[in-house]
Chains A and B, each alone.
Chain A
Amino acid sequence: MSTITAALGTDRARRLRAVLTVLFAGAVAVGAPFYFAPFQVFQLTMVLLYAVALAGLNLLVGFGGQISLGHGAFFAAGAYAAAVMLDRYDTGHLATLPVAAAGCFLLGLGFGVPALRLRGLYLALVTLSFAVFLPPLLKRLEPVTGGSMGLTVDKLQPPAWSGLAEDQWMYFVVLAVTAVALLLARNLLRSRVGRALLAVRDNESAAEVMGVRLSLHKTLAFAWSAMFAGVAGCLYTWVIGFVSPDSFSFVLSITLLAGLVVGGLGSLYGPLLGAAFVMYVPSVSQDLSEAAPGVVFGLLIIAVMFVAPTGLAGLPGRVLGAVARRLPRTAAALDRTPEAESAPDAEPKSRTESGTSATLDPADPAVVDAEPVGAPPRTEKE
């Protein structure tokens, strides 16, 4: 009885902390555009937008255990859907969002079919082919897509009542969409679909025995993931106001995947960190070396992967773990060591820990905050 009340107490405290953290983050996010210069607000907007795409990719790669090298193409599809609607049919900006989302969902559903038969590198190759073949296709479809000159469309303009500058308004709209998208991703993972995805990733046969329909969930993972990429693409069109086939070369797909791995696979806030990495590190590396920014960027990726194999999101846990191991084994250290010792098997342990609070939910916010829920799919199969 006493353990239950104690558990409830910590649970409540944890909730409180979670709420406080969310409030704090929300306040910072809302305050930022009033503090920073327009150029920096624009950068933040781009980080949020990439975070949406990365969150989608995370569903597939981090939680679904499937590799996609074609997410740049879904991103492009969303961007072009929005641009063509704005350019040819003159619809409002908001109308383009559901169309881009739904269109990419269906596209992802179609591309999920090969995912049923292929796995690992073979699937990666199929998705890569999509990313490679889309830009030339966009160039050929000139009457609709504007060919290689691309399409210039109106950016999102702030309504008069808001009294905001263009970059601020854009930031808030993208922030709202991103918040909804990240919340959706989180809730999706807490739902039946998310649990099924995790089960499929960890052991397909076991998942099937448990009653998970493999075909349905694998295709659905692709569809959801593509939808997020499409939404990000749509936001991209709103913010940049210009699309061209060369904006979406297959390098974009690889950048997205690299960003996700650096940010933290299978972590809920990894996409945000990964997006920030993708956005800021190239310019920082250019400041470091004008001659070869690519080399510095590459070295930084290697450095991050060396220091934090679980991605930036797993870094605090690893650092604390290392510190705790060095320190004399106090009670506090004992409390923390097991969960932070090695990331790949951290998940089941934190689960058992939270088991006392009568929930087995992997997406409990506090637990998720502490450690990445998933780990790179390959390492677990050893």
Chain B
Amino acid sequence: MRKTTALRAAAAATAALLTATACSSQRGQDAQDTAAGGACKGQQTTGITDKTIKLGGIYPLSGPASAYGTISKGVAAYFKYVNGKGGIDGRKVQFIVRDDGYQPPKAVEEARRLVEQEKVFAVFQTLGTPSTAAVWDYLNKQKVPQPFVATGASAWGTDDKHPWTVGWQPNYVAEARVYAKFLKDERHKAKVAVLYQNDDFGKDLLGGFKKAVAGSGIKVVAEESYEVTDPSVSAQMASLARSKANVLLDVTTPKFGSQALAADAKNTKWNPLHIVNNVSSSAAVLQPVGFKNVQGVVSATYFKDPADPHWADDPEMKTYTDALHKYAPDADPANQFNAYGWAVASSLHKALDTMKCPTREGLRDAVRNLKDVKVGMLLPGVTMSTGHDDAFPLETMQLMRFKGERWQLFGKPVDTRKEFGPLTK
């Protein structure tokens, strides 16, 4: 008994000592964060040197949203490809990926690890609305850039308290505006039924759509919501069918997108124009429904679909496919998420190129001062623009219609900023 306690105390003491000595990073070291000289005097140069730049990303590699985790592979492949060509402005990119399992507390922990232990230059990117919302206060307090978050919520761009955070993909309101414009042009007396997911994503899109069609002849005659945890949306679809609307706006995530499309195809008495949102527009959603059942379905997009043979000869697409084969052999180049990762990483490359100072402040200002920046992976006509009070780089999307076995782009890219004015809270 006595020896047990003594032994345990000794063991505990040794363990404590070992931990203490093993921990290289201790308190007070963060005061050594370097500051730049010259014109960029006093700005933070943590994580960036003349030869390297360190970026950290937090992705759900495990857990319910792990399908999105593959975005990190596209991003990593891009940075490896760029490093092979000499790096970004001579700086080799070190890209650290951490897993948050789509859990906000884990995201906070990993963000702190990246900032305090890994001393990254910027947190690029955080994925998902909950994780991003959980860490943006911390990152902004620490003055760490959080560029191009992988979520389409409109909160990132309309908020003025978080200058270090900026979105990237077209936000859900912008997407809703694209559909609203399409209906105004082609079906100005449309009666619209809406199926939407009951969360920020669904509500953002629905709210944006209602605002965009306000004052026109278009009316939302029925709306039904579902929960991510629901088994099916057939009840909602049946009730929407009773509304006799002639347009169905389908704001769903992939699983429910398939269900809604199938339910629409099955109901031969009700044949509305089916608009499916971008999130559910991938071939993986349409295929199980049967391509013959989804003819004429409308959606919108902004980057090149790697599965679309239309882009097979596109130089950027070729670079992407080759690089992915070389640097991420286990990743499928036809997967949209990999292409997304590639597109967002090359967007960051462009932003880093425009930095006036190679500092955190420099990046913060650069991502808010983009003027019609072209990115190879984005559709022709879709460019990145931001301003001092506009933190939405992409607000242009192009409509597409499903014909035969693939999506076909139609019309011109719709710049929602020009059409509807800047987005405010």
Given contacts A21-B5, A148-B200, is CB(A43)–CB(B109) below 8 Å? Answer: yes
Taking a contact as CB atoms closer than 8 A, the residue among A14, A38, A317, A366 that contacts B112 in the complex is A38
A-B contact count (CB 8 A): 145
* Structural contact, A332 and B116, CB atoms closer than 8 A: no
* Structural contact, A37 and B130, CB atoms closer than 8 A: no
* Structural contact, A149 and B98, CB atoms closer than 8 A: no
* Structural contact, B104 and A147, CB atoms closer than 8 A: no
* B residues near A294, Cβ cutoff 8 Å: 62
* A residues near B9, Cβ cutoff 8 Å: 17, 20-21, 24
* B residues near A317, Cβ cutoff 8 Å: 4
Given contacts A35-B26, A42-B112, A240-B134, 5 further A-B contacts (CB under 8 A): A24-B12, A246-B104, A283-B113, A286-B98, A320-B7
Look across to chain A and name the residue whose beta carbon is closest to the beta carbon of B110.
A283
Q: Report the minimum CB–CB distance from A301 to chain B (whole Å).
A: 14
Taking a contact as CB atoms closer than 8 A, the residue among A36, A132, A240 that contacts B108 in the complex is A240
* Structural contact, A152 and B137, CB atoms closer than 8 A: yes
8 pairs across A/B with beta carbons < 8 Å?
A14-B5, A37-B23, A39-B25, A39-B109, A39-B117, A40-B117, A147-B203, A242-B104
Q: Report the minimum CB–CB distance from A171 to chain B (whole Å).
A: 12
Q: Is A13 an interface residue (CB 8 A)?
A: yes
Q: Is A329 an interface residue (CB 8 A)?
A: no
Main secondary structure of the interface of A (DSSP, over half): helix
In angstroms, Cα B226 to Cα A140, docked, is 11
In angstroms, Cα B25 to Cα A38, docked, is 10
* Structural contact, A336 and B4, CB atoms closer than 8 A: yes
Q: Report the minimum CB–CB distance from A139 to chain B (whole Å).
A: 6
Of residues 155 through 193 on chain A, the ones whose CB sits less than 8 Å from some CB of chain B are 155
Q: Is B285 an interface residue (CB 8 A)?
A: no
* Structural contact, A139 and B227, CB atoms closer than 8 A: yes
Q: Report the minimum CB–CB distance from B293 to chain A (whole Å).
A: 30
Q: Is B223 an interface residue (CB 8 A)?
A: no
Q: Is B2 an interface residue (CB 8 A)?
A: yes
In angstroms, Cα B135 to Cα A247, docked, is 13
Q: Is B129 an interface residue (CB 8 A)?
A: yes
* B residues near A90, Cβ cutoff 8 Å: none
* Structural contact, B198 and A28, CB atoms closer than 8 A: no
Q: Is A150 an interface residue (CB 8 A)?
A: yes
Taking a contact as CB atoms closer than 8 A, the residue among A17, A148, A251 that contacts B199 in the complex is A148
Of residues 196 through 248 on chain B, the ones whose CB sits less than 8 Å from some CB of chain A are 198-200, 203, 227, 229
In angstroms, Cα B28 to Cα A311, docked, is 37
Look across to chain A and name the residue whose beta carbon is closest to the beta carbon of B106.
A282
Taking a contact as CB atoms closer than 8 A, the residue among A24, A34, A155, A370 that contacts B4 in the complex is A370
Given contacts A46-B105, A366-B5, is CB(A149)–CB(B61) below 8 Å? Answer: no
